[in-house]
Structures are given as C-alpha cells and as structure tokens.
Amino acid sequence: MVNTSVTLSGIRLDNPIIPASGTFGFGYEFAELYDINCLGTFSFKGTTRAPRFGNPTPRIAEANAGMLNAVGLQNPGVDSVIAEELPKLKEVFHKPVIANVSGFSVEDYAYTCEKLDKEPQVGWLEVNISCPNVHNGGMSFGTSPEAAAQVTRAVKAVTTKPVYMKLSPNVTDIAAIARACEDAGADGISLINTLLAMRIDPRTRRPVLANGTGGLSGPAVFPVAVRMVYQVYEAVSIPVIGMGGVTSAEDVIELMLAGATAVEVGAANLTDPWACPKIIADLPRVMDKYGITNLEEIIGGAHHG
C-alpha cells in the first residue's frame, strides 16, 4: 500500500496534486464534473483588491506543446470573493484552500492578503508576484530580490497563515529571488509561473494577442520548471510548490525529485477537466513502477544521488 500524502506547512494533504490558480476558477464549476475533495487542495482564481475586467480580447493563442494567455487577472475583487465565491466553494470543498493574491502595489498585496487571511477555509496564501500579462502588474515585484522581499515582509506583517511567494521564471537568477523571499519571512515558494511569449499572425502581421505578449504554459515549459524547482530547492530551506507543464503522474514524481513538496497542475485542466483526478488515480501505479512507497521520502531525491 503506497502513501500519497504530504504535509504542506503543517497541513496534511491526501496527495500532492493541486489545480493551479487561473485554471480552476473557484472550484464549484469543476465540482459539477467530479468530487473535487479528491484533490490535495487547489489554488483559487487570482484575486485583487478591486474588481478587474481583464485584458481586451483575444486573450488566448495556441502554440506547439502549449498555449499563451493574457487574461489579465479578471476577477470580482476580494470583497466579492469573500461574500459570494467562498460560501459557494464551502458547499462543495471541505478542505483548506489556497488563496491566490495579486496586486499592483505593496499596499494592494497587504490589504488583500489581510482580508483573505481571516477566512476560515483559507489554509495558505499564494502571493503572485509573477504575472507576465498585466502591464505594471505583479511581475515587476517578482523580478527583483529587493521588491520581492518588500512584498513578502508587508504580507507577513498582516497575516497568520503560511505565505507562499509565487515567482516568475522570467529572471536571470531565480535562486536569489527565492532566498530574498525566505529571508523576508516567506513560509514557502511556488514556481514557475508562465514564460513571457508572443505569437504573430502572418496574415495581419500583428501579434495574435491584443495585449501583444502573454504567458506560455503547457508541456513546453516543463523542463524549465524542473530546472528552476531544482535550483530553488538548493537555495532555500522552506517548502516548494512546483508547477509548469505538468500533465502526468510521471511529471509529478519528477518535480518532487527536483524538490517540490506539492505539485500544481495548470494548463492541463483547460484541455481536460479531469486531468487532476486522472493524475491522482495513476499515482499509486507510477509509485509502484519506481519502487516508491511514501511520496514524502522522495522530495528532493535528485539532490541526494
């Protein structure tokens, strides 16, 4: 009998599979398809201080082995999330959930996190300082160790729950930014977000996305995610949530060997709504294949030979 459970900042998960923010809404839409309580947890739609309509359309572009998105953090704002979305979520999901937070200033991040920290169902805060498709948005904080640390300190000063800083891959030294977050008090690191990318339509000779650029996700980015999770695991002593192009239980094992305690699944949910339960169901088989009886024992295993 294999043990698929892991512990994330003191909270036990039945398995390490977490649908990523922006690909799972607030959960209840997927609850119409299957019992989402089979998940370890999930990260709900990125939430900002004020409501956001998002970027103009088109917002999605196809790519080989992936997709580009420039949705632009469309969400109803933190007050509506607390008043309307979380009560609906509570009816269908009976575990702690990850609150994903974005902002446009340090004050924005602190305000939104302080509000969500008070919600009983929120188990962790995932602070997105890595969004590549919002002008003057969160990624400006995620590309500088000093700015990343500033946001981390501000959020930690007004919260009591574990804070995971979600980092951008669009940087030269991901380890330095992760260390800055840890030194500023972060409880964990989430990575990677999407890679800044572009498609151009030969007929119009213009970018396909109205925003010009967008975030590349899907299998194309998986090797980058493995590399960055590996580097961050070596750089910090706090837990890492790995993500980026995960489509299978084999991918989950690989990211955990690189150093991830838990694994988020993003774009795969958009092409197959049952992607996460399929991965969860296949985990015991893949564990048996590689002689793994306890998932927690392989975290960072690639670093130990």
For the stretch 263-285, pLDDT in tens is: 999 999 999 999 999 999 999 99
Q: φ, ψ for residue 112 (rounded to 5)?
A: -70, -40
Three-state secondary structure call for residue 253: helix
Answer whether residue 1 is part of any domain.
no
- Cβ within 8 Å of residue 255, ≥6 positions away: 225, 226, 229, 242, 243, 246, 263
182 in a domain, yes or no? Answer: yes
pLDDT of the residue at 299: 98
Which parts of the chain have pLDDT scores under 50?
133-135
38 included as an active-site residue:
no
Stated pTM of the model: 0.96
Q: How many helices (H) and strands (E) does the chain have?
A: 11, 15
CA atoms within 13 A on the CB side of 106: 13
For residues 196 and 168, give the distance between their C-alpha atoms in angstroms, rounded to a whole number: 9
CATH number where 221 lies: 3.20.20.70
Rounded Cα distance between 73 and 76, Å, is: 10
Smallest Cα–Cα separation from 232: which of 197, 180, 195, 267? 180
Compute the distance between CA of residue 294 and CA of residue 299 in angstroms, rounded to an integer.
10
**What pLDDT shows up at residue 95?**
98
Please give the single-letter amino acid code of residue 231: Q
User: How far apart are the C-alpha atoms of 197 and 69, rounded to whole Å?
Assistant: 9
What is the maximum span of the chain, computed from C-alpha positions, in angstroms?
57
Tokens 């409880």, residue located: 187
Residue 18 lies in a domain: yes
Q: Is residue 138 situated within a structural domain?
A: yes
Tokens representing 114? Answer: 């302080």
Whether residue 163 is contained in a domain is answered as yes
> 229-246 burial by CB neighbour count: b if 16+ within 10 A, else e?
bbbbbebbebbbbbbbbb
At residue 131, the pLDDT reads: 64
CA distance 85 to 206: 38
**Domain presence at residue 220:** yes
Residue numbers of the domain that contains 136: 6-303
Q: How far apart are CA 153 and CA 170, in angstroms?
A: 22
Q: State how many domains the chain has.
A: 1
Q: What tokens appear for 126 in the block?
A: 């995932």
Say which of 38, 113, 131, 181 is annotated catalytic: 131
